[in-house]
Amino acid sequence: MIKNLTCYSTNTLLEAIHIINENTKGACFVIDKNNRLTGVVTDGDIRRSILNNVSLDSSISEIMSSNFVFGTESDSYEDLYRKLDEKVRIIPIIDKDRKVVDYLQFPQSIHFPVASPILSGNEFKYLIDAFCSTWISSSGSYIDKFEDGFSSYSDCSYGIAVCNGTAALHLALLSLEIGIGDEVIIPDLTFAATINAVLHANAIPVIVDVEEDSWCISAKEIEKAITPKTKAIIPVHLYGQPCDMGAIMDIAKKYKLKVIEDCAEAHGAMFNNQKVGSFGDIGCFSFYGNKVITTGEGGMCTTNNLILSNKMRILRDHGMSKEKRYWHDVVGYNYRMTNLQAAIGVAQLERIENIHKNRREYELQYREMLSEKNFTFQNDLEGRQRITWLVSLLLDNNTNREEYIDKLQLNGMDARPFFYPLSSMEIYKEYCSKSSPIANKIASSGLNLPTYESLKSITEIGRIFSNV
């Protein structure tokens, strides 16, 4: 780990940025050719130097302060901690030869967050290219590239990039003319964006329970909830697990219902070897910072229907006519993605298979290290090729989840509970006509663990688990 925290004084600012991005600590320790500590540089130091017109090709020694904090092997634990505060969050520890042998980090800082975006491919290159092109708003070549690339990856003919995943859901509902008095069936176990989008469209959400094995919306409960007012279903591929799209599409066909897939957490997941987002009328994806691939904020609608694609593009851009500029036939929205965001998305998409591979490998290591503990991991189900978004598991009935999370965080590791059932919140209760025992059971014991590409110290995570 020390190796990933050091850079040579001859390294450039750009090289230091890559090192800091890789170690996720926000700093690197600068050493000379003899591996002796000469300084500490933070990501903030580099940002400020760039704003002061220092070139990325400049040597890190040019911006390095001679006044930095460090500790020695002979320092007591108390002395070392006294050197840390809100400003100095990480310090190197050196031996008698001034070589870095360890480090100490501010205790309130989480060593292992649940998610952390990795921008180690062509993200910076494409971002600078988009910046230099001056096309930094909602037009530019990277938007077309990202829409074409991601829709193709998702087995769809068309992609419509938007500003976030919630906007994608709302845009899908609007384009399908779902509105006042229309009922839309959704799962009880999902993030609030799913139900909020339905409410923003002035439709009526109908909350139903989920399957116990997949944690996703139950096809049986969907059919029970259908009324003459039902117009659509929003299956949510929760935590990377595909819904039973075979049964759901059969129901949709039988009752002539629209299907909007919420794929925010499931980029690349498949049902019977077909990508999610390509089954229903429209698929909706999120590219928020904690997703499989990210554009910071951002989302996309995918479809195989040209008419819907064209309709969504008009609604996305203020409802302005594509043939007659500044002429508006419908009331639209500003749901556009910027060319800068799309540039990052194109680079992320180039690495998506490696991202999936790395996340899956980390999950396998979690399964191995926790195999003798009382955890139930997310199921691999026949016909459903889930992805690892976050390593998701259920704690046994004898473990207090909140206390367990507190213990993990005290040891420097973040963890997140599952989403609350929508029906448990006062503002949504009225949209659930019957209890959801399975959703409540899963939500009460679910836990998401750190899962991201640069999760290098899985052995250290193992030591943390052994202490809680």
Q: What is the pLDDT of residue 107?
A: 52
- Provide the CATH number for the domain around residue 75: 3.10.580.10
Tokens of residue 45, six digits: 């130091």
Residues with Cβ within 8 Å of residue 429, at least 6 apart in sequence: 423
User: 318 and 174, same structural domain?
Assistant: yes
- Model confidence pLDDT, tens digit, residues 60-87: 999 987 789 999 999 886 678 778 776 7
The answer on 263 and 155 residing in a single domain is yes
Which tens digit of pLDDT belongs to each residue from 141-188?
999 999 999 999 999 999 999 999 999 999 999 999 999 999 999 999
pLDDT digits (tens, 9 = 90+) for 165-175: 999 999 999 99
Looking at the structure, do residues 30 and 143 belong to the same domain, yes or no?
no
Tell me the CB-side half-sphere exposure of residue 42, using CA atoms within 13 A: 13
Structural domain span for residue 180: 123-350
pLDDT value at 465 more than 60: yes
Is residue 113 in some structural domain?
A: no
Same domain, 204 and 81: no
Across the beta sheet with 27-31, the strand order is 6-8, 27-31, 37-42
Q: Tell whether the model's pLDDT for residue 1 goes beyond 60.
A: no
Residue labelled with tokens 């933070």: 42
Contact by Cβ (8 Å): 196, 244: no
Q: Contact, 230 vs 185, CB < 8 A?
A: yes
Angle between helices 165-175 and 306-316 (to 10 degrees): 120
Please give the structure tokens belonging to residue 228: 């003459």
The encoded tokens of residue 306 equal 């040209």
- pLDDT category of residue 462 using cuts at 50, 70 and 90: confident
- In sequence order, the β-bridge partners of residue 5 are none
Distances (CA, A) of 416 to 77, 195, 384, 442, 454: 30, 21, 25, 14, 19
Helix (H) or strand (E) holding 390: none
**Cα 158 to chain center, whole Å?**
23
119 contacts 344 by C-beta, under 8 angstroms: yes
Assess whether 454 and 429 both reside in one domain: yes
15 and 27 belong to one structural domain: yes
Give the CA angle between residues 34, 40, 44 to the nearest 5°. 145
Find the mean pLDDT for residues 293-317.
Answer: 97
Residue 311 annotated in active site: no
CA gap 36, 30 in Å, rounded: 8
The predicted structure's pLDDT at residue 4: 83
Judge whether 280 and 258 are in contact, CB under 8 Å.
yes
Alpha helices in 263-370 (DSSP H): 306-316, 339-350, 352-369
| In a shared domain, residues 331 and 370 | no
- Token pair of 240 as six digits: 């990377």
Look up the pTM and report it.
Answer: 0.80
Tell me the pLDDT tens digit for each residue of 89-137: 889 999 999 999 998 876 545 578 888 888 989 999 999 999 999 999 9
Kindly indicate the confidence band of residue 2, based on its pLDDT and cuts at 50, 70 and 90: low
Do the domain assignments include residue 195? Answer: yes
Burial class (CB in 10 A: 0-12, 13-18, 19+), 380: exposed
Q: What is the CATH number of the domain that holds 384?
A: 3.90.1150.10
Average pLDDT, whole number, for the chain? Answer: 93
CATH number at residue 198: 3.40.640.10
In a domain, 205, yes or no: yes
Given 39, 70, 105, the domain boundary residue is: 105
**CA-based torsion, 428, 430, 432, 435: positive or negative:** positive
Contact 217, 236 (CB under 8 A): yes
State the total domains in the chain. 3
116 belongs to a structural domain = no
Domain end marker among 298, 318, 350: 350
Q: What angle do CA 389, 392, 396 make, to 5 degrees?
A: 180
Given 48, 73, 105, which residue is the final one in a domain? 105
The verdict on residue 118 lying in a domain is: no
User: How does pLDDT run across 202-221, given as a tens digit for each residue?
Assistant: 999 999 999 999 999 999 99
**What's the confidence (pLDDT) of residue 294?**
97
119: how many CB neighbours lie within 10 A of its CB?
Answer: 16
The answer on 344 and 202 residing in a single domain is yes
Residue ranges in 76-136 assigned as alpha helix (H): 77-82, 123-133
Same-domain status, 38 and 155: no
In a domain, 117, yes or no: no
Are 121 and 350 a contacting pair, CB within 8 Å? yes
Active-site residue, selected from the candidate residues 25, 231, 258, 291 = 291
- Asked if residue 211 and residue 77 are part of one domain, the reply reads no
Percent with pLDDT over 90 in the chain: 81
Q: For 258-300, what is each residue's pLDDT tens digit?
A: 999 999 999 999 999 999 999 999 999 999 999 999 999 999 9
What pLDDT does residue 350 have? 98
Cα Rg of the chain (Å, integer): 25
In this structure, are residues 175 and 312 in contact, taking their beta carbons and an 8 Å threshold? yes
Asked if the structure places residue 114 within a domain, the reply is no
pLDDT tens-digit series, residues 329-374? 999 999 999 999 999 999 999 999 999 999 999 999 999 988 767 8
Q: Tell me the β-bridge partners of 183.
A: 204, 230
Instruction: Name 385's bridge partners.
Output: 270
pLDDT of residue 448 exceeding 60, the answer is: yes
> How far, CA to CA in Å, does 421 sit from each of 189, 194, 204, 234, 403?
5, 12, 17, 16, 20
pLDDT computed for residue 418 by the predictor? 98
**Tokens, residue 77:** 């634990």
The answer to whether the beta carbons of residues 233 and 248 sit under 8 Å apart is yes
Token output for 396:
């046994």
Same domain, 74 and 207: no
How many other C-beta atoms are found inside a 10 Å radius of the C-beta of residue 463?
11
Same-domain check for residues 13 and 32: yes
pLDDT of residue 184: 98
pLDDT tens digits for range 399-447:
999 999 988 887 888 999 999 999 999 999 999 999 999 999 999 999 9
Q: What is the reported pLDDT for 108?
A: 47
Residue 464 has, within 13 A of its CA and on its CB side, a CA count of 23
Q: Is residue 278 classed exposed, middle or buried when 0-12, 13-18 and 19+ CB atoms within 10 A define those classes? A: buried
Q: Which two tokens stand for residue 394?
A: 């259920």
Q: For the sheet with 71-72, list strands across it.
A: 71-72, 90-94, 100-105
At 371, list the tokens.
Answer: 């195999």
Please list the residues that pair with 320 across neighbouring strands. 328
